[in-house]
Amino acid sequence: MGSLNAKKLDHVVIATADLDDSLAQWERNVGLKTDASLNQPLGAGFKVSRLPIGDSFLELVQPVAEKGRFYEQFQERGEGLFSVSIEVEDLEAAIEHLRGRDVRVSDSEPSIWPGARVARINKGYTHGVSIQLIERS
């Protein structure tokens, strides 16, 4: 049945209503600084900044459009931990492995960021935590 073949914790997404204020708090309180704000992908409906930690990062995300998956989930859940992203060696094999264990997982899809594909594990199978699997090329 294979395995998940997780490579590493890729990143953690934290939702915020005010990206600039959040960045200032993370720097002042924790000492983490952004490496760069990223241009939001066309139509994504949010702006984002990354705080590097070794070969992983925290991704702070603020909705800027009142539509889309992120906005809807932000309205439901509010600020705070949004999702955890795990990099896998082979996304299709990881999906097959999880489905073989009767875990609900989405089909793979291109990421909004170039060079990656993602799938999402239904949070009912991960103790309420939204998990994204990511394969980077």
Q: Is residue 14 within 8 Å of 77, Cβ to Cβ?
A: no
Residue 25 lies in a domain: yes
C-alpha–C-alpha distance, residues 125 and 137, integer Å:
27
Give the pLDDT confidence score for residue 1 in this predicted structure. Answer: 52
Q: Is residue 88 one of the residues assigned to a domain?
A: yes
DSSP string covering 32-78: ---SEEEPPPTT--EEEEEEEETTEEEEEEEE-SS-SHHHHHHHHH-
* Residue 21 confidence (pLDDT): 97
Ordered per-residue pLDDT tens for the chain, 137 residues = 567 899 999 999 999 999 999 999 999 999 999 987 666 665 678 888 999 999 999 999 999 878 877 888 888 889 999 999 999 999 999 999 999 999 999 998 888 777 899 999 999 999 999 999 999 98
**Domain count within the chain:** 1
Range of the domain at 17: 6-136
In whole angstroms, give the CA distance from residue 117 to residue 87.
10
Tell me whether residue 1 is in a domain: no
Which CATH number does the domain housing residue 48 bear?
Answer: 3.10.180.10
